[in-house]
Amino acid sequence: MKNLRYLCLTLVISLAAFAVQAQSIVDLRLNEVLIKNDENFTDEYSRHVPWVEVFNTSFNSVNIGGCYLTNDTTGLAAAQKRGKAGQDALNAFKAKCYNIPSGDPKTLIPQRSSVVFFLDGDPTYGTFHVSFKGEECSYIALLGSDGRTLLDLMELPADMRTSDKSFGCEVDGIVTEDEENTVVGKKAGKDIRKYLETFTPGSNNKVISSESKADKLAKNDPHGIAMALTSMGIVFTVLFIIFLVLKIFAYYSKKEQMKKEAKEAKKKDEVKAAPASKDGKPTDEELAAITAALHQANIGGSDEETVAIAMALYFYLYTNHDYESEVLTFNYDSENSTWAQKHFNFKQNPSYRG
């Protein structure tokens, strides 16, 4: 029972690997071919020989090793038959085809990439040199590793041997306009491959312009007028923005300064409440002021002076009042006023009574 499970698991893995491999191989397409190669692409031996490019249209790597390339139409049709006669025809057909070696790591085609085979009729030069010559081709076919499954077929124009242009897909790997993108089998579509304007072996068929922005500007503005106007516009725009920023900053700074000055002026003019006595009792400072006032009254001060001092103490101790300049002004007679008589400023000598 255990061995049966292992056998089933091995079978499932093998079938999955085969399905993935088969699905990958059918994504290969004959992308470009050149027969009359007099001065174009050369092989690794610097020879100008015909070549064909195979493109991987999938988004995973595909190993083309083990597949076949051929130009034999008669043998291809006979190899499709079944039975013993078909098997013999298939064996004979394989012998005429070029079987791509499966041991070469270079046969692994990366996603959306291509490889080039040289149609020189001498496979002894290497893996990518096929057994038939390009001058003998009216079409080229790519077959699977069974030698019977047709993956792609490219019919060459009659004047291909004398044309100095390559023939193939305008967009890499696109051989038909329909979704299936194949010219073989029941879902075959119309082949749209044609002569190409440029030779692109091993690279993209549709060349994308790499013109830089500087080149485009030089082309569209040869005298530099647009560039000068653009530069000046940018400079003046930046200066105007800086001007606005400074103007706004000055406005708000001035406004803030005015608020600050108004607040300070209001603080100077505001009415402040006089400090109240603690617990209804005079503080030490208040007692000292009262004592001084009474002393002044007893040493000959006038009634007006006494009243002024008393009112000042009253307002200071028990009512709200403004801060004054602390200068008291009285109408007085300079000759009789005790404030103007200097001898009152001297300390009295103590008297001794025996």
Ordered by start, the domain boundaries in the chain are 2-202, 239-270, 284-345
- What integer is the mean pLDDT of 303-332? 63
- Angle 124-127-130 (CA atoms, 0-180°, nearest 5)? 70
Residues 347 and 299: their CA atoms lie apart, in Å, by 13
Residue 136's CB is within 10 A of a number of other CB atoms, namely 13
Confidence (pLDDT) at 226: 83
Q: How far is CA 126 from CA 5, 210, 229, 271, in A?
A: 44, 35, 62, 109
Whether residue 20 has pLDDT greater than 50: no
Q: Which residue has the higher pLDDT, 34 or 270?
A: 34
Whether the Cβ atoms of residue 74 and residue 93 lie closer than 8 Å to each other: no
Confidence (pLDDT) at 36: 92
Confidence (pLDDT) at 148: 86
Confidence of residue 69 (pLDDT cuts 50, 70, 90): very high
Residues 283 and 261: their CA atoms lie apart, in Å, by 36
Q: Which residue has the higher pLDDT, 324 or 288?
A: 288
Confidence (pLDDT) at 13: 53
- What integer is the mean pLDDT of 275-280? 50
Confidence of residue 271 (pLDDT cuts 50, 70, 90): very low
- What integer is the mean pLDDT of 126-135? 94
Whether residue 46 has pLDDT greater than 90: yes
Residues 100 and 66: their CA atoms lie apart, in Å, by 5
Q: Which residue has the higher pLDDT, 327 or 38?
A: 38
Whether the Cβ atoms of residue 314 and residue 308 lie closer than 8 Å to each other: no
Largest interatomic CA distance in the chain? 172
Length of the chain: 354
How many alpha carbons lie under 13 Å from residue 292 in its C-beta half-sphere? Answer: 9
Whether residue 23 has pLDDT greater than 70: no
Residues 171 and 193: their CA atoms lie apart, in Å, by 9
